[in-house]
Amino acid sequence: MGMSFSYGPPADKKEMISLLRAAVERGVTFFDTAEVYGPYTNEELLGEALSPLRDQVVIATKFGFNLDPKHDPRGMQGSPGLDSRPEQIKKVAEGSLKRLKIDVIDLFYQHRVDSDVPIEDVAGAVKDLIQEGKVKHFGLSEAAAKTIRRAHAVQPVAAVQSEYSLWTRGPEAEVLPTLEELGIGFVPYSPLGKGFLTGKIDQNTTFDKSDFRNTVPRFTPEARKANQALVELLARIGQGKNATPAQIALAWLLAQKPWIVPIPGTTKLARLEENIGAASVGLTAADLREIESAASTIKVQGARYPEKLEQLTGR
């Protein structure tokens, strides 16, 4: 996502194609996009970068926003228009296949639950696409446990993607136990707290005017100052492991369950290599207890989304 929008101006396309291919060379196999990222340009970027390497990668994309100009075309700024009507889902699939230059979408997520369309109808539409050979697997993003169960009864859900990290732990209450029971994988997005858990952001950091974080309550200077305690914890654990705060944040996620696959984003080769390095950072049971104990005393300040966007989650 960050290659095309949300975190400041889009990155250079040629550089991003090179970076995506470098990721594959280093063993990364799973890539996540959505039609709303850009909109459209992120899928086009992935299509150009990865179509020559199609047999080495798994590509996930998402449907569920109305990108009509009368609605908010960004889907992340202001108030996005949701649209998960079956005919819209099928139309989005055709567009995504073309932009990604592929003949089947490996994992097709509903980007946000649309309360105007029964989840059974959504699952049924994706089931049709699977039967037509245009999609392999069905996913949900930011869905509530009861919604996941209803969808899964119509078409097995392969993965749920929601925000999850040491500073966003909402899924632990109901979603993760439901996924474990049903045998569904979990894909944490923003596993580095939109960059905050890397330790590279403090109360004095300024973001580009187009950066989405300017609108996020958790990124006000006051909240950033209060939330530094979490980064200090990651840094302290990292010192004993010769690892960065970002690597500890990712290693913590990887240590939670074998079926959890975080998707850190980056536009820099050095950060890509740092993130990959997290897979070889071992956290012992004692390390995890220490992190848990320390984290339990830290109250994260600020909501993770502006109110309008927060209302689209947990449905």
Tell me the per-residue pLDDT of 19-78, one tens digit each, with 9 for 90 and over: 999 999 999 999 999 999 999 999 999 999 999 999 999 999 999 998 876 655 444 444
**Backbone torsions φ then ψ of 248, nearest 5 degrees:** -65, -40
Cite the active site residues. 37
Domains along the sequence of the chain with CATH = 13-310 (3.20.20.100)
Tell me the per-residue pLDDT of 91-140, one tens digit each, with 9 for 90 and over: 999 999 999 999 999 999 999 999 999 999 999 999 999 999 999 999 99
As a whole number, mean pLDDT of residues 249-269 equals 98
User: Could you give the angle at which helices 86-100 and 41-50 cross, rounded to 10 degrees?
Assistant: 40
The average confidence (pLDDT) of the chain is 95
- DSSP state for residue 134 in the 8-state scheme: S
Tell me the per-residue pLDDT of 52-61, one tens digit each, with 9 for 90 and over: 999 999 999 9
The residue length of the chain stands at 315
Closest CA to 67 of 49, 48, 45, 42: 42
- In DSSP notation, 22-46 reads HHHHTT--EEE--TTTTTTHHHHHH
